[in-house]
Amino acid sequence: MLGEPEEAVARSRDAVQLARDGSQPSTLALALHFATVLHQFRGDPDSVREYASAILAVAIEHRFAFWQAGATVRLGWAGAATGAEGTVLLEQGIEAWRAAGSRTYLAYFFALLADARARGGDTDGALAALDEADRVGAVTRERLCESEVHRLRGELLAGRDTGRAEDSLRTAVTTACAQQARALELRAALSLALFLRDRAPNEARAVLVTATTPTGGLRNTPEMAEALLFFGVARSC
């Protein structure tokens, strides 16, 4: 979130290893859970699948219905992110998560569902999932994926309602900035810059300059590579 993904991966790996070395399966499930969240935000479905499968094994062995449901959600997203059918599995995971009595991470899970539906071409379903993420977040005050919800909504609305799309993308940027979530700010700024490229090219460049300065730990991320490509295309126009 803070823009140091390589350090985050290293610390997450250490946390999982410490949990494996211990004797508390619930602690291991928790460490694996946060590893899946980290790699999902990094856009790495293979790592998400690896850690979610490990959660599932621990949950089945120790009868942790809560963690089994959460692992199912992440496995569904990983499937959808790699071109497989993961939406149904994700929906089943959310249903099981609710049945286990938990409301934590529900807004995040609905954002994952929206992303999965969008990847499958179900724009209406994706927007409905984002509305549900908003509804749940208003009750639980969960803000983990707030900027991502706005970004996804903006991208989905770009071909339908440009006014609402622009508002959503701008809100995504300001929300991530307010949360000091540099990685999410860059992702949102890139979406906004692409939206503005033909409408307001100078502002599009300015948005990305702000989000990419300084590069810090984001220099090797896919978003930074796409931002540099954007600058190259912009300068050639």
Where are the domains positioned within the chain?
1-102
pTM for the whole structure: 0.92
| CA nearest to 146, candidates 188, 191, 103, 93 | 188
Percent of the chain whose predicted confidence (pLDDT) is above 70: 98
Distant-in-sequence, close-in-space partners of 26: CB < 8 Å, separation ≥ 6: 62, 64
Asked if the model's pLDDT at residue 119 lies above 50, the reply is yes
Span 44-62, mean pLDDT? Answer: 97
What pLDDT shows up at residue 221?
87
pLDDT score of 234 more than 60:
no
In angstroms, rounded to a whole number, what is the distance separating the alpha carbons of residues 236 and 77?
Answer: 37
d(CA 50, CA 67) in angstroms, rounded, equals 15
CA atoms within 13 A on the CB side of 55: 28
Cβ atoms of 97 and 68 within 8 Å: the answer is no
Predicted confidence (pLDDT) per residue in 121-157, tens digit: 999 999 999 999 999 999 999 999 999 999 999 999 9
Per the CB < 8 A criterion, the answer to whether 181 and 147 are in contact is yes
> Which tokens hold the place of 62?
């120790």
**Distance, CA of 72 to CA of 74 (rounded, Å):** 5
pLDDT value at residue 191: 97
Tell the burial category of 46 from Cβ atoms under 10 Å away from its Cβ (0-12, 13-18, 19+): exposed
Q: Residue 222's pLDDT is what?
A: 87
To the nearest whole number, what is the mean pLDDT of the chain? 93
Among 47, 97, 107, smallest CA distance to 72 is for 97
Distance (Å, rounded) from C-alpha 150 to C-alpha 146? 7
Q: Tell whether domain 1-102 is in CATH 1.25.40.
A: yes
- Which residue spans within the chain are E strands per DSSP? none
In degrees and rounded to multiples of 5, residue 99 shows phi and psi of -65, -30
The residue type of 203 is E
Residue 127 CA to residue 182 CA, distance in Å, equals: 25
- Predicted local distance difference test score (pLDDT) of residue 235: 44
Helix, strand, coil tally for the chain in percent (to 5): 80, 0, 20
pLDDT in the model for residue 214: 78
Which pLDDT score, from 0 to 100, does residue 237 have? 39
Contact 108, 146 (CB under 8 A): no
Q: What is the pLDDT of residue 236?
A: 43
Average pLDDT (166-194) is 96
